[in-house]
Chains A and B, each alone.
Chain A
Amino acid sequence: MVLKFKKSMKTVLFQIIGLLMAVSAIAQTGQTNVKGTVRDVKGEPIIGATILLQGTTVGTATDMNGNFTLQAPGNGVLVVSYIGYKSEIVPIENRTNIQIILHEDIEVLDEVVVVGYATGSQRTISGAVQKVSKKDMNVGVVVNPLDALKGKVAGVNIQKTGGDPTAGSSIRVRGTTSLSGGNDPLVVIDGMFGDLGLLNALSPGDIESFTILKDASETAQYGSRGASGVIVVTTQKGKAGTKILNYEGTFGIENSYKTIDMLSAEGYRKAVIDGGYVNALDGGANTNFMKEMLQTGYTQNHRISFGGGTAETNFRASLGIIDQKGIIKNNGMQNYTAKIDGSQLLFDNKLKLDIGIFGSKRENRYVNDYQKTFYSAASFNPTLPAMQNEDGSWPEDPNANEVDNPLGRLTIDDREDNAYLATNGRLTWNINDNLNFSAFGSYTYNAKENLNYIPTNIKAGIREGRGKAYRGLNKSNILMGNLSLNYKKIVERHRLDALALVEGQKYDYTGFSANARGFDTNYFLYNNLAAGAIVKYGDVSSYKNGYNLSSFLGRVNYMYADRYIATVNIRFDGSSKLGENNKWGFFPSASLAWVMSEEDFMKDIDVIDEFKLRAGYGRTGNQDAISAYNSLLLMGPSGITSVNGVPTVTYSYNRNANPDLKWETKNMFDVGVDMAFMNRRLTANIDYYYSKTEDLLYDYDVPVPPFVHPKLLANLGEMENSGLEFTIGYSPIRNRDMDLTISGNVAYQKNKLLSLSGTYMGQVLNAAEYMKLARINGAGFQGGNTYVTYQVVGQPLGVFYLPKSNGLINDGLGSYTYNVLNLDDDPNINLNDGGDRYFAGQAMPKVLMGTNINFRYKSFDIQTQLNGAFGHKIYNGTSLSYMNMNTFPTYNVLPEAPVKKIFDSTVTDYWLEKGDYVHIAYVAMGYNFNVEKVKNWVNSIRLTASVNNLYTFTNYSGLSPMINSTTVNGSLGLDDKQFYPLTRTYSLGLSINF
């Protein structure tokens, strides 16, 4: 029997009492046939609830519709129980039809929580662990698992930029702690290690719960993989004693609700005349190219799941499809998923076998090159017609070299087919009541094929040399296995849970790609590369590499008297990617918790249900920034030249090798308190953490000479992160007809780059003072002083370092430029790094907020979520570019540009704006139908309606403040002409349980 999920002590108690009393029961008189239905407070039937006639062994369980029938005396008493719910004692009082409502057991402390390799319960956890169960996940249009989790957990920042269905979300757990790579949390799906790609392949409906391990006292279990947090995903499994068939579907219509409006053709012509321009091209049309690119999108999500189980065998299967059509023409995504899980108990329940198989195929049709496409859409000459020329080419302004006809660009066929097959199996041998042995193995296969064809009749295809076709396949094979021994023992007031584990992981990557150019027809697309005339050096390539990890873990969790909890993890990891002498890393952690509410002095205070103090310290590692073979000196193809008169590919040492590569380590300290009051109507958590990352892996600038290449992947610097997290949940109303729950989480995050220098192979390496990160692109921005965000020691990651402008200055001829201030003693204005620039703010938010409100009245419910980010800035490169009249009339500008007459593209802080916002992510309404009349074959019907992306409150003047404010790369903090239009989705959803 797998009472895996919720098991309340009370339930057990009632069952035992029931059994005991049954023994003494002798006579039964006046039997009647009692029928009834067991439902939860929301009116949904409870399947498999136990109905016992008090004092007897007579009992039954509810069926698929929550119905039961029992022979019982009219004066009998029923004991109704179900795991996770408070048991009800219901006198029959001669009724023949009894409606019973079970209330959820709010004593959730014993809910099973998967804490990494171990399972425990909230009661025994001493680290910062948060669980989001299915019922707590986001609703409305949820097309990937991160959508379901967004805004729910303090310190977990999930961000998606724009409304492109092919774009994924980024996620950061407690900020960015590594400079390069490895900032994505580890995803563990039913024991399998995966990444965000694998997580995104899952249908969100298949997920039972997320458990977020935030602090190192728990993530250290994963040692080398846990430095950026761990998301443990448990998928839905079959349950004993049930049969289910479930359909869930949503359909939504998607529209653009905000685009950048440039000068219309009319306005363009007027500005040309007013400005006395002689070079302007007038194509005679009136086109809004952005509008021409738009379409009404849709999103649909259908999923069927079925399964069943007995005490010994259960299975569950699901099939799903998610289909999204973007609001930009030719842009869309489909994700097909199939999943089956099963388990079998054998040999008197001594042995348990679990298997899970998951397959998915995701097809993306991309908008090729965001920046180019959206920059083109905005700045393309609006007087050109929105149709092809007679010869099949697209109208172009030859002078507008940096942009192409955006409608022509949309004909670029850019696709990705991404297939996953993930399988896992586990054998659990319950050696005795206290000890079990488990063997787990998983295999994940991923094949990602990219296909791209640039037609011969568009500008990009012409410059490639009569079209270009590309095909590339990247495959990964990941094998993982572990063996563990788990010992659990409760002796009086001592509770011990110990784990020993050995683990191996093997990653294999292979791939190839090919390009062909010189096509005379667009018919073949990327389907017959031989149809292209030109294949040069570098057009074909392939690779194969991989790495191995070996690990050992020991863990002890000890609790005394339900009051004092201690957890210790010790892990050793070895990675093949590291330098010869640095393969192994040691990652220990420890945490302590004191459940004060169990102490005598607090136990009697009724209003306090829980008061738990926690403190933990742990060390984790990171090696994700390292690619295979980075520590070895290797030759690769470097080009092709004449050798003895024959064109020959030459080999060269194409990067600096670092034989001294080692683990990046993060030490983290966390202290927190968990509180619950008033029968858990009010819950609160507060956590403070401080972490310091050492031996930061980064592509450091190194001096050339003596180094051959200017970058070296090495372990040098240090960075610190700290933060404060609050989570609060309050349910002021909780009764049969009405529920109201308001929950909120706020996270303050602070980050500082402490050092970027250190010792490498006995030599001192100094950091470059200003490391450039993100710069403005487009016409007139190729080089020079166009960088906006930097990495600078002593500053937070992604700091704006800009010349200071106090406004516009009239040059006397009616045109304006940015007035740049002199900030140093040098009398000249120097826009260079180290010159007249200052630190103008940070790109990453200081405060992140999520608020969820759920309200139910009888069968009707409504949910909404608000997200917010504060304390950061955004560089509005879009306005800098589109307000610059120097680019007019070749490039179109914003309607106010001809009025403001700014003839300047100097990057200053003029366009640096506050990025604060509050976003209403969705409002979703639901209604549960009364299925009384069809209860024999339908258990529940629920209809939902939702609006996603309702509104954003912000003072930011650009299209949206929800740009990349988290990922350290060349777009951090920068809004630069490449925003996918904002979309709003109206959807209807239906869920039927049979």
Chain B
Amino acid sequence: MKRNLSKYSLILSFSLVLFGCSLDETPIDQLPESEAYKSPALIYLNTVANLYTEIGGTGGGNGLAGTDRGIYDLNTFTADEALLPTRGGDWFDGGLWQDLFKHNWKSDNSVILNSWNYLYRVIGKINMSLDKLNSLIDENPDNTYLPIYKAEIRALRAMYYYYLMDLFGRVPIVKSATTQISDVQQSTRSEVFNFVVTELQESIPYLSTANSSKTGEYYGRMTRPVAYFLMAKLALNAQVYADDDWTDNSGIPNGNASFNINGTSKTPWEVTVAYCDSITALGYELESDFSSNFSISNESSKENIFVIPMDPTNFTARNMNLVRSRHYAHGKAYSQDGWNGSSATKEALAIFRKGSEDPRMQKTYFTGKVKGPDGNYIKDVDVDLEYKPDAIALDVSGTTFEKTAGARMAKYETDPTAQAAGQLPHNDWVLFRYADVLLMKSEALVRMGLSGDADLGKVRARVNAPARVATLDNILDERLLELAWEGWRRQDLIRFGKYTQPISDRPTTAPFRTVFPIPADVLSLNTNLTQNPGY
């Protein structure tokens, strides 16, 4: 028996060899780290280029703009420019949009969480790329292109921190992908502001001066004019960003900021003007046709500075805003979707109608009856579809114009060849453009006590609007007239101290609302972090 057993143990040990399957994993449908950085082209692709896929999004809060339920919505539907009214069974969505419009959002608001997660996800990916580039530079200290890559994505990260600071104020600055949870600590808003400014200033010399809105090597990339534009925004809003107690002073920003430019101290207004001038010096100018910046082939615009490249089949970034705004029948006329949602507020309409109707009204909004691609009025079943701008309210349920109330988004040309039910058009989404530069400069000059008439005048003259004196009020109005639907209104109102002022369907709100809460999930997952005041 004993002898037999040893024979059997031989069988068993043979079987060990037979069945000792390898427990190592060798994936072949995903790219392991060891393969991802093997050539200069792959290094560029996998540390820099892949970050640009993140600038636009496909929905659900991803993307800086163009998508729904993210940053764009926080900047648009909490201001006085547009709203997503409840229309009977549609758009109540558990109170989500009413909460945003009425400044009633709580820290568990999904749009706020989506925005936070998106911005930090991209920062996380940039940090992974930076860690990789740093280790590659350590291995090849003489390499010439790696520092340029690094500067480009540092500037990109600065842009993402700029959005975070603008929305959430006190956010943690995380600079490496290996950071531990316990090391994630909040900085004050002014610290974040200084970090963003410094990062941009250090990166700018490495950046190409190419126009990023044109097709070619630098299409959609972080180039010097994009960074200049960000510097101008940072400077113009410095009083806001340097203000660490935004709950005081009735919501009027009162931060103190100064800039150090080449060793000399400058006021934010001087710096704004300087960066605006730098952009002008790179050859940007206003398009003669206001609408051509948003046309199907807007890649040729001389005015656009930073865009999200879009194409029905070539790129994945989406523009959902036209679809979300227009009536069902309006979308159907193009065999596309209409979600019958976002509309201009009464306040926005009033600004467009101050004096005579602004020439940009019909270029910005669909009002009244609308023609379809065949040139005929679009039918809503058997009658002509007719938008009713003045019937708008936060809740139009049960009213006669429940489905048609509100002026709808018309700024971007409807692309009949768009894919994904209209969400994948040819028109690039415009993030930054030169008209804004002129308005920033005009505002900075006025705030310095100088005349901003010339720059304001250029913007108004382009659309044949009568000239106006560059007062702060006129400039704020002009920023809506020119930049409606472009995601700037919240920031502008905060800078002007008007974000919390009462409008239709919203009484005065508290100044703490100028900054969004740190999402409840983030707080419960990282107990180092503290909530913003007021929430």
Contacts and interface: CB of A to CB of B under 8 A. Distances in A.
A939 B15 CA distance: 48
A536 B328 contact: no
B511 interface: no
Q: Size band of the A side of the interface?
A: 35 or more
A383 B4 CA distance: 85
A548 B337 CA distance: 46
Question: Which of B44, B89, B94: most chain A Cβ within 10 A?
Answer: B89
28 contacts: A278-B400, A281-B381, A399-B340, A401-B338, A465-B421, A502-B12, A504-B19, A534-B312, A537-B314, A628-B25, A629-B25, A632-B25, A634-B31, A639-B315, A640-B314, A641-B316, A645-B215, A645-B216, A647-B315, A650-B46, A652-B125, A703-B184, A705-B174, A706-B181, A766-B527, A835-B106, A890-B88, A903-B397
A485 B32 CA distance: 41
B121 to A, nearest CB: 5
A833 B400 CA distance: 35
B117 interface: yes
Interface stretch (B352-360, B460-468, B518-526): B518-526
Nearest to A647: B314
A504 B31 contact: no
Interface in B391-424: 397-398, 400, 402-403, 419-421, 424
A387 interface: no
B172 interface: yes
A465 B419 CA distance: 7
Given A705-B179, A705-B184, A891 B526 contact: no
A638 B50 CA distance: 8
Contacts of B368: none
B312 A536 contact: yes
B95 interface: yes
Interface in B23-55: 23-25, 27-33, 36, 44-46, 49-50, 52-54
Nearest to A506: B21
Interface string A699-730: 00111111111100000000000000000000
A535 B88 CA distance: 37
Interface of B: 4, 8, 11-12, 15-16, 18-25, 27-33, 36, 44-46, 49-50, 52-54, 58, 69, 86, 88-96, 99, 106, 108, 110-111, 116-117, 120-121, 123-125, 128, 172, 174, 177, 179-184, 215-217, 219-220, 309, 311-317, 327-329, 332, 335-340, 380-381, 397-398, 400, 402-403, 419-421, 424, 520-522, 524-527
Given A401-B328, A629-B27, A641-B317, A650 B15 contact: no
A269 interface: no
Nearest to A830: B106
B50 A833 contact: no
Contact of A704 (B124, B182, B215, B314): B124
B316 A463 contact: no
Contacts of B220: 641-642
Contacts of B11: 437, 483, 485
Contact of A703 (B336, B340, B397, B526): B526
A784 interface: yes
Contact of A485 (B12, B111, B174): B12
A879 B404 CA distance: 28
Nearest to B171: A705
A648 B311 CA distance: 13
A466 B335 contact: yes
A32 interface: no
Contacts of B18: 481, 483, 504
Nearest to B422: A463
A713 to B, nearest CB: 15
Given A639-B316, A642-B52, A768-B525, A463 B421 contact: yes
B181 A634 contact: no
B521 A768 contact: yes
Contacts of B525: 701-703, 765-768
A769 interface: yes
Interface in A429-451: 431, 435, 437
Q: Which 8 pairs from chain A and chain B are nearest by CB?
A: A784-B94, A887-B89, A708-B124, A504-B19, A784-B96, A650-B50, A639-B53, A634-B30
Nearest to A881: B89
A111 interface: no
Contacts of B86: 780
A632 B52 contact: no
A544 interface: yes
Nearest to B404: A279
A504 B28 contact: no
A575 B21 CA distance: 9
Nearest to B105: A832
A550 B108 contact: no
Interface in A624-673: 628-629, 631-636, 638-645, 647-648, 650-653
A437 B8 CA distance: 9
A34 to B, nearest CB: 50
A576 B522 CA distance: 33
Question: Which of A534, A707, A766: most chain B Cβ within 10 A?
Answer: A707
A545 B27 contact: yes
Contact of A651 (B45, B54, B111): B45
A275 to B, nearest CB: 9
Given A504-B20, A703-B525, A398 B128 contact: no
Given A517-B419, A634-B32, A703-B181, A399 B403 contact: yes
B153 to A, nearest CB: 13
A575 B24 CA distance: 9
A827 interface: no
B155 to A, nearest CB: 17
A542 interface: yes
Question: Which of A505, A535, A653, A702: most chain B Cβ within 10 A?
Answer: A653
A628 B86 CA distance: 45
A861 B241 CA distance: 84
Contacts of A575: 23
Contact of B89 (A780, A783, A906): A780
A834 interface: yes
Contacts of A398: 327-329, 332, 380-381
A502 B337 contact: no
A921 B96 CA distance: 43
B31 to A, nearest CB: 4
A281 B338 CA distance: 18
B335 A890 contact: no
Interface string A778-795: 011111111000000000
A922 B252 CA distance: 73
A401 B90 contact: yes
A548 B21 contact: yes
